[in-house]
A and B are shown apart, each in its own frame.
Chain A
Amino acid sequence: MSYIPHTAMETQQMLAEIGVDAIDELFRAVPPTHRFPKLDLPPPMSEMEVAAEMLAISEANDHAQDFAIFRGAGAYHHFIPTVVNHMLLRGEFYTAYTPYQPEISQGTLQATYEYQSMMCALTGMDAANASHYDGATSLAEAVTVALEVARHRRKKVILSHAIHPQYREVARTYHRGRDIRIIGDRGRGEIVDLMEMLDENTAMLAVQYPDFFGQIDDMTALADAVHEAGALLVMVANPMALSIFKSPGELGADIVVGEGQPMGVPLGFGGPYLGYFAIRQKYVRRIAGRIIGETLDADGKRAFVMTLRPREQDIKRERASSNICTNQGLMALSASVYMTLMGKNGLRKVGELNYHKAHYAANEISRLDGYSVDMSKPFFNEFVVACPRPIADINKALLEQGIIGGYDLGQHYFHLEDRMLLCVTEMNAKDEIDRLVEILGGLN
């Protein structure tokens, strides 16, 4: 019976203790007309067979061990030191749950506290929560915080069109039931255009850093303008880029959110990922989700505990601003182990490798006939390439040579037809980049 340990004799003893003859009798409260339906499921399988089947299904996918990947667009192929997985596989971490009982959960609590600290360090914020579901839902939750800060008197939310298209979709799903307006999708998405949308009805303005096209704008003037309008500046930041670029805190952000996947979480077909959420001290009581704080135990020993609990759904119920309960705790642990291993010097080095390799690739591609690379602004590890053929054709040709090419921007931005978003990370060796350039050169 797989993971059910009962022997027939034990079952009989237990039934006798309960005072019934058969397990079926325990289901009397279920309407007899609907009791015990047959389930049309496959028959049981042994562990050996399941292992073989899972391997077979997994190998029907084009994965990064067999293909060179130059695709990012919100999910990034980075190096994960082996220690991360070894720590994650400790049952003490992954088979525990939310640390409701702090006396026997100090491991999870301290690791999460350290994760919060490192996210503060990266973003330049004062506090971070224990995680949201992913970068997109973190942004959606930031909208809620901004509306609350404005006491729901401001009804306009500006999301730059250079924010990941799926993130903007998720923010819209989350706020369908509210009387607010989400704008910003149209226009060139330049900083000056966004500034013109600001007014006294604006609760927040969000930009991505680096933006969806990989580029970095100077945010200083924008931050001033947003604050002048009495709104909050939210930055959706790639934490890997924060290894070398100025922190959003330095640039004037009030809330920093984003996808923590680049730091120690595998591609995994899109999840589970890690939504991080960091904020300035003055708004910390508005933050949704679990948050860990330091305190003392009865003997005066330092210890950690979930704090600010009265904001949460299980206590505040219909007056809570979010219903989040289960989060992405294990992914926060991944990021925590990853950031600890990399540390101050390693993370900076990874960031620089990304920068140099992406620029090498961009420079080489820009020399190819028929291609042009948008280098009008600084970029990190992604850049936009205008191609001489439809992106689908180019990617098909690349795939035949064992390369997963860039993201087809025309799918979401009609004015970016025949443009691909290429991503180059520390995982792409020079010969891999050279091979990409060579194949592209043959496709002009």
Chain B
Amino acid sequence: MLQPLIYDIGSPGRMGVNLPECDVPKVELPAALMREELPLPEVGEVQVVRHFVKLSKLNYSIDQGLYPLGSCTMKYNPKINEDAARLPGFAQLHPLTDESGSQGALFLMHELQQWLGEISGFEAVSLTPAAGAQGEFAGILMIRQYHIDRGEGQRDLILVPNSAHGTNPATVTMAGMEVLELPSNNKGNVDMDALHAACEGELRDRIAGMMITVPSTLGLFEETILEVIATVHDAGGLMYMDGANMNALMAAVKPGALGFDVMHYNLHKTFSTPHGGGGPGSGAVGVNEKLAPYLPGPIVEIVEDGTADREEPVGATYQVARNARSNDGRPNGSPLQTSAGEAVEPPLYGFVMPEKSIGRMKAFHGNFGMHLRAYAYIRVYGDSGIRDVTRYAVLNANYLRAKLMQTYKVPYPRYCGHEFVLEGHFDDAEDVHALDISKRLMDYGFHPPTNYFPLIVPEALLIEPTETETKADLDEFVAAMERIAEEARDDPELLRNAPHTAPVRRLDEVRAAKELVLCCAPAKAAASV
């Protein structure tokens, strides 16, 4: 069952790839600088393919079934997006290509900036952050610089509800600021008394802003959101929205219109770019006009207007033929025709560093491969489809919630957004915990929900089905959860020893941390200590 380590299946001298002979005269290698050891595996192509195919089969993935990992939005990743990302014009485009030679990529990024701004009601968008956590970091750095530029550099406190993702408080610390944690009330909203006390008390002049997830990590839309925003704004703070849960909001509400000053998007959640076994993500940030000059750069702007009378929004169709290539592969530069037959010159796109930018978050221009997938995704759904994404995500979550409420404790008696929390324990089966339920779900062929988060619900199971699951899939999940609830009473050991059908059983995590074996032994040969 177990796959051996790649170092254990090689033979000296074997190679997995054929390489061409050197076609230039060789020069002498500088002996003093050369390494002697290079302890890499020695395996053939067939062994490599089988090794990774076997490894892949030890994984659970969205392509196999429901993956209701709360706050991660594990929706179907459209295959067409993978094809698009592998087109040579994208995959083989050097990031430092002259702007005249990357107009297609720049056009695409510009459109995506516009669309993301439109979806969430923001003035400007930067696509550069590599993941949600980096988007958060950019947002808090912008807030910090905004206050410094207004002579209010003493504002160093960021309010964070206790239901927040761990990234929020960690981000605040990275930005050199301090967290002021706020409690939640029994309806899952921010405790308004605590918020008023913080914003109107002696710390008022130190309030830099607030980070809040909408809907919250409990899957609940903050009922007092307008009052929360007004309270923080009155104290001179800015509002940051953690956009991890944007799948519940598209065409339902625009965060910018509610009064948020800045938010990040997770293109790998809401806009279907694959999670890749841990990444890559993409954490674009949107801002209102106050923060637009501070955006991390570069962003894409039209640097020279075209002659086309550009109706918003416009597809790329006319952009394209301009660059249709002649046989030698180079652009022929001929202007394009509109449908009316007139020749038009499209605008020229370029990278621009915003005026007071907090700087670069990473080299080059963000995870472009994720931008183009998000572009294709929005293009497929269009205006009406994007609206449906949110509507059906919320429908699926509420359906599961309604069904599971019959068997499990569900705190907070309100409709949820795109996800909801269950309490994973039973009064008459005290030895069974949320983790046991999760592990047993694997035996029924499902990925477990998020465990023990948010921290404010005991034995939390955070469930997010997403819009791409059928009613039948959801019903099967409900049936499994109901069976598990029975098993918890009848045979708790079955749960506590689960999973029984996975490639491995529960792991000794203490041993892993104590012995700290982080590297195959043969690879260590090169280390010189």
Contact = CB atoms under 8 A, between A and B. Distances in A.
Interface in B482-529: 497, 499, 502-509, 511-513, 515-520, 522-529
A92 interface: yes
Contacts of A170: 359-363
A327 B278 contact: yes
A356 B362 contact: no
Interface string A78-103: 01010101110111111111111111
A64 interface: yes
A21 B276 CA distance: 38
A271 B368 contact: yes
A353 B22 contact: yes
Given A57-B107, A114-B7, A127-B518, 12 more contacts: A56-B319, A94-B277, A97-B278, A101-B60, A104-B60, A105-B59, A136-B362, A247-B528, A293-B518, A305-B507, A326-B279, A330-B274
A130 to B, nearest CB: 6
Interface string A33-46: 01111111111110
Given A60-B89, A271-B364, A329-B280, A40 B313 contact: yes
B529 A126 contact: yes
A221 B47 CA distance: 43
B94 interface: yes
B251 A36 contact: yes
A347 B38 contact: yes
A59 B320 contact: yes
Contact of A60 (B74, B107, B165, B280): B107
A57 B319 contact: yes
B276 A59 contact: no
Interface stretch (A65-73, A191-199, A366-374): A65-73
Interface stretch (B27-35, B302-310, B421-429): B27-35
A62 B321 CA distance: 14
Interface string A154-176: 00000000001011011011101
A interface, size bucket: 35 or more
A98 B415 CA distance: 29
A94 B121 CA distance: 31
B319 A108 contact: no
Q: Closest 10 A-B residue pairs measured CB to CB?
A: A177-B176, A58-B89, A270-B364, A329-B278, A270-B95, A330-B276, A60-B104, A91-B63, A62-B101, A44-B382
Contacts of B359: 169-170, 172-173, 176
Nearest to A407: B96
Given A111-B52, A270-B95, A94 B276 contact: yes
Interface stretch (A116-124, A182-190, A200-208, A382-390): A116-124
Contacts of A67: 329
Given A5-B468, A86-B49, A103 B503 contact: yes
A3 B379 CA distance: 13
Contacts of B16: 81, 83, 340-343, 346
B270 to A, nearest CB: 13
B35 A244 contact: yes
B94 A267 contact: yes
Interface in B52-70: 52-53, 55-64, 67, 69
B17 A346 contact: yes
B221 A29 contact: yes
B interface, size bucket: 35 or more
Contacts of A328: 130, 276, 278-280
B507 A91 contact: no
B343 interface: no
B280 A295 contact: no
B363 A166 contact: yes
B138 to A, nearest CB: 8
Contact of A269 (B102, B133, B529): B102
A63 B388 contact: no
Interface in B4-36: 5-7, 10, 13-17, 19-20, 22-27, 29-30, 33-35
A46 B288 CA distance: 33
A214 interface: no
A275 to B, nearest CB: 8
Given A60-B89, A280-B529, A330-B280, A272 B52 contact: no
Contacts of A315: 166
A53 B253 contact: no
B163 interface: no
B60 A323 contact: no
B167 A325 contact: yes
Given A15-B395, A294-B517, A104 B503 contact: yes
A228 B376 CA distance: 54
A355 B63 contact: no
Interface stretch (B78-86, B194-202, B231-239): B78-86
A343 B15 contact: yes
Given A107-B58, A173-B359, A95 B77 contact: yes
A260 to B, nearest CB: 12
A238 interface: no
A349 interface: yes
A299 B508 CA distance: 10
A444 interface: no
A262 interface: no
B220 interface: yes
B319 A340 contact: no
17 contacts: A17-B402, A43-B383, A56-B316, A60-B320, A63-B91, A66-B325, A98-B279, A103-B507, A173-B359, A247-B526, A295-B512, A323-B170, A325-B133, A328-B276, A342-B15, A352-B26, A402-B328
A206 to B, nearest CB: 15
B348 interface: no
A317 B391 contact: no
A255 interface: no
Contacts of A35: 252-253
A87 B25 CA distance: 35
B33 A430 contact: no
Nearest to A66: B329
A357 interface: yes
A64 B22 contact: no
A53 B317 contact: yes
Contacts of B529: 126, 280-281
B163 to A, nearest CB: 12
A236 B528 CA distance: 18
Given A3-B468, A100-B69, A17 B517 contact: no
Nearest to A57: B104
A149 interface: no
A120 B526 contact: yes
Nearest to B254: A37
A108 B487 CA distance: 31
A119 B22 CA distance: 27
A296 B507 contact: yes
Given A61-B90, A293-B513, A50 B80 contact: yes
Nearest to B56: A92
Contact of B504 (A114, A301, A325): A301
Interface in A298-351: 298-299, 301-303, 305, 307-309, 312-333, 337, 339-350
A250 B144 CA distance: 42
Interface in A195-244: 216, 242-244
Interface in A122-148: 122-128, 130-131, 133-137
Contacts of A59: 89, 104, 320, 323-325
Contacts of A295: 507-509, 511-512, 515, 517
A181 interface: no
A75 B94 contact: yes
B58 A247 contact: no
Contacts of A245: 33-35
B43 interface: yes
A13 B49 contact: no
A74 interface: yes
A80 B284 CA distance: 29
Given A177-B141, A299-B505, A343-B16, A114 B175 contact: no
Interface in B444-471: 447-448, 450-451, 453, 467-471
